[in-house]
Amino acid sequence: MADATETKRVCVRKAVTRSPSLPSAVVYLILEALRDGKSVTAFLAALPPMTLPPELIALRDLGAVVNLAQHWPVAQITEIPLQYARLGMPALPVFAGVYIESGFTALHWLDATPKRAVTLIVDPSVPGTLTTFVYNWGDRITAVVIKGHKVHPDPIPDMLVRCVNVQSASIEGAETQAAAAAYLTAPSKQHLRTLKVTANATGSLDTSAIVAWLQGPSATSLDLACASVRDPAALASAVQACATLSTLRLDGVVDVQAALATGSLHHVTLLSLRSSSGEHGIPILATLDRTKILSFTFENTHADVLPVANAIRTMGECTALETMTLTKWRLSAVTTTGACPRLVTATLRQLTCAPTSVSKIIQWLSTSRRLTHVDFAGTVLGNEGVLELARALPAHGTHE
């Protein structure tokens, strides 16, 4: 037995001072919520360095030498000076995406395959090494913007073939309609959700690749600007049958607009039409599910103000409408208007109509409970219209 007089030893532990830290998962959630690069820099600077994983240390160090406001949440690696590439590469996993502009030559970045989405800007007239990046990062590229130029041989189709996971594609200013058709055919359509095509060259555009895409499971948005297409009936039928397509923008393409005016577009919730004829726009609007249409734009591109019938009356039946635009039309007499309880923004520019119709339009706008902006630029309201506007809109926000 131990001696009763034996001195008992007391073990006293020294308090260890620890730096406050956040779990990595929480840090990443906060970073995802921050939309300003300056806030990201300040947030990382406030955290103890010993608590940061390597990619966040790299992001902190990168923010010390470049302005993260230009690179958050998508890294514009074309704009990062070459001498800082080694800082940027380990930080890539933190960014929501990577943006590569034409003319990019910094091959150092090839050592850092991104884990997030990559947006590629293709302009073959600008010297660079984009082809090399496509060969190495092709499966990471989810968005492509093609700026066509007359370059032979044209490298764009071969580059697009390697982009197997594209979700968004924009073809801008192809040199010829044949080139535009080749660009449409090349990339995989399996994951393609949004497609924008601007083909201003002469002749009709072959849209068979667009038809095939619309017949697949992924299409949600089509934006097409050209004079005409080879088979407007086939394209119109594909648009009408594509249940997943919710956004449709047509600029010109009067042949397609005419074909669409005879069918149903019940699945489209955002419709934008630009045309030099008022013949088809409102009939197309009438083919939509008027309880679901959220946005409607109808712009006249002709030099003269052209007539359009029943525009306000038809829109008055679209009770879910949130934004609407009418530009450069002569409206028929407005007698009944309906209601627009969810309308937020109304743009009615360069319109010609009778003074009594102006009052009816303003009365229609006043039925909205959410209206915040009205634009009457170029539209003559007249004395009666101004008085009606003064009575109806003070509680709704801004108007021009």
State pLDDT tens for residues 13-49. 444 444 456 677 888 888 888 888 889 888 888 888 8
Question: Token pair 């009936």 is at which residue?
Answer: 233
- Pure H helices in 306-381: 311-315, 355-365
Q: What are 155's two structure tokens?
A: 């490298």
Residue 150 has pLDDT above 80, yes or no: no
5 falls within a domain: no
Q: What is the dihedral of CA 11, 12, 14, 15, to 10 degrees?
A: 120
Between the CA of residue 302 and those of 35, 278, 290, what are the distances in Å? Answer: 41, 10, 28
* pLDDT at position 248: 98
Same-domain pairing of 101 and 231: yes
* Structural domains counted in the chain: 2
Same-domain pairing of 281 and 202: no
* pLDDT at position 88: 86
* pLDDT at position 53: 87
Give the pairing of strands 398-399 and 373-375.
parallel
Same-domain pairing of 210 and 102: yes
76 falls within a domain: no
Same-domain pairing of 106 and 241: yes
Same-domain pairing of 174 and 214: yes
Average pLDDT in the chain: 85
CA distance 28 to 73: 12
Range of the domain at 229: 96-245
Indicate the length of the chain as a whole number.
400
Q: How many CA atoms lie within 13 A of 391 on its CB side?
A: 12
Beta-ladder partners of 224:
197, 250
Same-domain pairing of 100 and 213: yes
Same-domain pairing of 273 and 202: no
Kindly state the percentage of the chain with pLDDT values over 90: 38
Kindly state the percentage of the chain with pLDDT values over 70: 87
142 falls within a domain: yes
* pLDDT at position 84: 86
* Amino acid making up residue 283: P
Residue 292 has pLDDT above 80, yes or no: yes
CA distance 371 to 94: 39
304 falls within a domain: yes
Same-domain pairing of 336 and 294: yes
Q: For position 362, which CATH number holds?
A: 3.80.10
* pLDDT at position 128: 66
Same-domain pairing of 145 and 231: yes
Same-domain pairing of 218 and 357: no
* pLDDT at position 202: 84
Average pLDDT over residues 192-220: 95
Residue 105 has pLDDT above 70, yes or no: no
- Of residues 237 and 175, the one with the higher pLDDT is 237
50 falls within a domain: no
CA distance 279 to 272: 15
Same-domain pairing of 396 and 265: yes
* CB contact at 8 A, 157 and 183: yes
Domain end residue (candidates: 192, 210, 245): 245
Residue 167 has pLDDT above 80, yes or no: yes
Domain end residue (candidates: 245, 275, 291): 245
* Amino acid making up residue 297: T
145 falls within a domain: yes
CA distance 143 to 167: 6
User: How many other CB atoms sit within 10 Å of the CB of residue 25?
Assistant: 8
Domain end residue (candidates: 211, 245, 279): 245
Give the pLDDT confidence of 257-270 residue by residue, as tens digits: 999 998 899 999 99
Average pLDDT over residues 320-332: 95
Give the pLDDT confidence of 57-90 residue by residue, as tens digits: 989 999 889 998 888 888 888 888 888 888 888 8
Between the CA of residue 341 and those of 83, 129, 316, 368, what are the distances in Å? Answer: 56, 53, 10, 4
53 falls within a domain: no
* pLDDT at position 375: 94
Residue 255 has pLDDT above 60, yes or no: yes
Same-domain pairing of 206 and 277: no
17 falls within a domain: no
Q: What is the dihedral of CA 101, 102, 103, 109, to 10 degrees?
A: 50
* pLDDT at position 252: 93
